[in-house]
Amino acid sequence: MEIPVPELAPAGTRVLVIDDSNTIRRSAEIFLRQGGHEVVLAEDGFDALAKVNDHDPQLIFCDILMPRLDGYQTCAIIKRNPRFAHVPVIMLSSKDGLFDKARGRMVGSEDYLTKPFTKEQLLRAVQQFSRLAAVVDHSQS
């Protein structure tokens, strides 16, 4: 029997999860879907750039250490595009260093979650940043 989770965020937020680890992608997908959100998955930065364009996410979780295009580069490219500059990006990393967090901020990320994350941490981040994105989005209309 599944225990109902109190609604932590506006239901139906479209979230892109970028991570080269299948385990992390699937965990995030399960947690987010249980929270009532739409989930798009990408396995690396190149895959993510196409999916950002195709799916217009309202929030992005982005791993830092990925092959080909790392999370910092991916975030910087997304933030340079005026169409997506307002979309909150939350970096995911197994490292919890001050330098990593500062570097994430420098490329435009709004926050930083350390892996492994809990369902509550993930849903709290969606709640916090999807509201921010909605406010920013409406102010640009």
Residue 71 belongs to a domain: yes
Residue 2 belongs to a domain: no
**Mean of pLDDT over the chain:** 87
Provide the domain limits for residue 125. 14-140
> According to DSSP H, which parts of 11-70 are helical?
22-34, 45-55
Residue 1 belongs to a domain: no
CATH code for position 127: 3.40.50.2300
Instruction: Dump the DSSP string for 78-119.
Output: HHHSTTTTTS-EEEEES---HHHHHHHHHTT-SEEEESSPPH
Give me the pLDDT at residue 137, please: 52
Residue 5 belongs to a domain: no
Give me the pLDDT at residue 7, please: 42
Please, what is the angle between helix 22-34 and helix 119-140, to 10°?
Answer: 70
More confident residue, 52 or 1: 52
Number of domains the chain is built from: 1
More confident residue, 113 or 132: 113
Residue 68 belongs to a domain: yes
pLDDT band at 135 (very low <50, low <70, confident <90, very high): low
Residue 3 belongs to a domain: no
Among 78, 73, 29, residue whose Cα is nearest residue 52: 78
This prediction has a pTM of 0.86
Residue 37 belongs to a domain: yes
**77-129: per-residue pLDDT in tens?**
999 999 999 999 999 998 877 888 899 999 999 999 999 999 999 999 999 98
Give me the pLDDT at residue 95, please: 81
Residue 41 belongs to a domain: yes
61 by DSSP, 3-state: which? strand
